[in-house]
Structure 1
């Protein structure tokens, strides 16, 4: 090949590299906005699917809301018609659905059959109680699970790892309502020689004020929080342990040790941050569930939160309240999942490119 031909081929190759490099750069710069748009669009579609599901699913529940509203008393056909007209139950199903969707978009989730109050007001009233219970448990079981999962992975195969993993698997497999009932029997009712130390249920005694009220609520909070922490921390422990074990054979950890860094420093500064992605997913999913609360635990301990309200609404069935709570529960999980997806590229630049 002549030198002139070589220069021509080299120039063409250079031009080709420049042409391909520009789109790659543009793709990198535009990749994240497209990624965000796709995640937000998916969240909107999911919310609409939840809206549709919440309307039709709970109409399969056996029970007549009108009979509940009349208290089981014999009423005339005219009175039944008045009740149905008041709550829109006389309309065709498709018209009830469109009316429900339009109102939901404006923040109106309807009026509760049993409380005769806006569903949004009932949810707002019970939400702080649920956040207190599940929020406290969330902080404790996330911190405990992440700490023990890290320690177990770093010393995997040892006695501590086997003990932590076995205990986590055992507690994670126990139904929360069964564990709650067991704690009530042992620590509330009392079993010789253990006296009853905690209330059997509720959120407060109703006779305290000021600091005494805070301590009273904390006293009622102990058993439901212990139940949630015992059942939930194992999941965080196992996910953290598995993610960290995947990282432990990486070359960058060997390099860090070769530089003379202490083992504890290698774990905290290098291994753990790179193993966070699966744990972050789990944390955000659990964070979304804090709004939903845990229906069985709140019911067992008579905790006046969203979970107990949902159980109470199902027994009627109070369709607007059940629909509204289901939508709020699902929306909280979808929102937290979407937020986790949007934060992924900050933890791992390969995501969203």
Structure 2
């Protein structure tokens, strides 16, 4: 045996190194994930407290609003306040609300006389249909146009894409929605009214005709969300790919004779998508929470329209429940992004 040859004992001692390293990596990830989940729980608790006190600053008496301004006796007014717990001291209302919320009970809506959780469950599928469709479209559009703009940066296409994305991203969604209604629903000049002004369905349709009817109503709200949101994804994808384009591994790939398009798709884009993946998760939660204005403009029967309706009363349990749901959507998606990113880039969380 030569002096340089490893002995059998050394080989056996070196074997457990990889499992030990994996165990340390898993421990670090679990510690990192526990910290992120704990932070999310604290954020949700802060939202719970903030939502309770914030909406009690809204002027107006919920009981008088529910009666439609009709004159009622003091006894009737007192009975309504007792029914909804508004006669209790503020601190007791707060403790009751927090205790019930932690068990999943968000109270009973003043105007609908139904559990808040049930009202959210009824409107949630409509919001998911709108936001899910828009999310898929603007994510794909932003990534495709962003990577192409970066790969040919400085060209006419890059300047047009970036300029249009910045312009649309700066436009308020409700203003763009109203503009689309005026042009494509009401009709303007030679452009006839092609789409409904609002709502989710015309009524009376069944089967495939119903699906087409809903899709017809879906066009303008989806276009509004896509136009406003795709710009951010485009700009992040473009910036990330520009950072990767000067890397040595791309030069090596080209030196091996790979086509430029292959270098972009197989090497540059996968590495550049890491920041975009985080943005995708964040956007998903933010789109669900930020659909209030679009749903209100288009009278879409989702969570956004329900929130606006509850705010006008004010229906405190429903407003608080929706506020908590919207905030939870953002917090949960941010936390998922934090948990997924170390799996894509092991340097994160060390």
Q: Partners in 1 of 2:263 and 2:77 — Cα distance? A: 72
How many residues are paired up?
A: 333
Q: Partners in 2 of 1:96 and 1:221 — Cα distance? A: 40
Query: What is the root-mean-square deviation of aligned Cα atoms in Å?
Result: 1.6
* Cα contact 1:306–1:325 (8 A) shared by 2: yes
Is it true that 1:30 corresponds to 2:20 in the alignment?
no
Is it true that 1:242 corresponds to 2:264 in the alignment?
no
Aligned with residue 115 of structure 1, among 112, 117, 142: 112
Q: Partners in 1 of 2:289 and 2:114 — Cα distance? A: 20
Could you tell me how far 1:73 is from its partner in structure 2? 1.4
Deviations 1:63-104 (A, max 9, x none): 110111222112222111111111111111111111111111
Matched with 1:71 is 68
Is it true that 1:259 corresponds to 2:243 in the alignment?
no
Aligned with residue 321 of structure 1, among 318, 321, 346: 318
Is it true that 1:204 corresponds to 2:170 in the alignment?
no
Is it true that 1:176 corresponds to 2:173 in the alignment?
yes
Aligned with residue 348 of structure 2, among 340, 348, 351: 351
Matched with 1:276 is 273
Aligned with residue 310 of structure 1, among 304, 307, 310: 307
Could you tell me how far 1:269 is from its partner in structure 2? 1.4
Extract structure 1 runs of 4+ deviating beyond 6 A. none
Q: Partners in 2 of 1:134 and 1:226 — Cα distance? A: 11
Aligned with residue 301 of structure 1, among 298, 301, 308: 298
* Cα contact 2:48–2:324 (8 A) shared by 1: yes
Where in structure 1 are there 5+ consecutive unaligned residues?
A: 1-17
Q: Partners in 2 of 1:68 and 1:208 — Cα distance? A: 36
* Cα contact 1:131–1:290 (8 A) shared by 2: no
Could you tell me how far 1:289 is from its partner in structure 2? 2.8
Q: Partners in 2 of 1:278 and 1:46 — Cα distance? A: 23
Q: Partners in 1 of 2:103 and 2:26 — Cα distance? A: 36
Where in structure 2 are there 5+ consecutive unaligned residues?
A: 1-13
